[in-house]
Structure formats: C-alpha cells, structure tokens
Amino acid sequence: MAKGDGRYGRLLRSLAKTDLVVLDDWGLAPLTDEHRRDLLELLDDRHGRRATLVASQLPVDHWHAAIGEPTLADAILDRLVHNAYKITLKGESRRKRLAKADGSRPLTTDH
C-alpha cells in the first residue's frame, strides 16, 4: 500500500531508524521477487546500525531455499546471519505445555 500511495520511501526511512524490527514466523510463506527486493532494501538500510530479530521454526540452513532467488538470498542472508546471535530453543512448545497445565486441549491441525 505504501508504494501505491507514495509513502514507501518514508516508511523505509522510518523502519531504518526503528531500534528493533521483528520478523516473526520467518519462512512460513514463499517470498515473491518484490518481497525479496523490499526485504533486502530494509536490511541494507539497517545493517550494522539497528537490531533485527528473526523468529522462525524453519532451520537457518533452509533459509536460502525459502528466500528463493540465489543472488538475493545470498545478499539477504549476508545481512541477517553473519553477525547474528543464534538461539535455538529445544523441547516442547510452550503453548502445548500451558494447555496441558490448565487441562485445555491445544489447537492443532491433527485430527
């Protein structure tokens, strides 16, 4: 929408100045070429200046394929991964544990 109404540049400048940008559920849906280019532009503006947090169930070694286009994937991952702190959580989902504790049934796609 920001591209359509002329706010895109202003939005990118604002995101570049934001102390923390969170990319939640990273890698759940494929990126279009436009998404890849927008993401690269955002990360390029922020790289080395501000924090970006990525939360994903997709292992990091699958991110390149999830991004899609190899050249842009290399550039995006260079900005995301190379100076990153990686925290890998282990164990059962917190939502499942909470559901067990209160006796409710967790939402699931399994039938």
DSSP conformational letter for 30: P
Check residue 102 and give its pLDDT: 74
Return d(Cα 67, Cα 28) in angstroms, integer. 10
Q: Which domain holds residue 37?
A: 8-102
pLDDT digits (tens, 9 = 90+) for 85-97: 988 888 777 777 7
CA proximity to 46, closest of 12, 72, 16, 84: 16
Structure confidence at residue 30 (pLDDT): 86
Per-residue model confidence (pLDDT) at position 105: 61
In a domain, 54, yes or no: yes
CATH number, domain containing residue 15: 3.40.50.300
44 phi and psi angles, rounded to 5 deg = -65, -40
Strand, helix or coil for residue 27: coil
The 3-state DSSP class for residue 74 equals helix
Domain count, the chain: 1
Domain membership of residue 93 (yes or no) is: yes
Residue ranges of the chain with per-residue pLDDT less than 70: 104-111
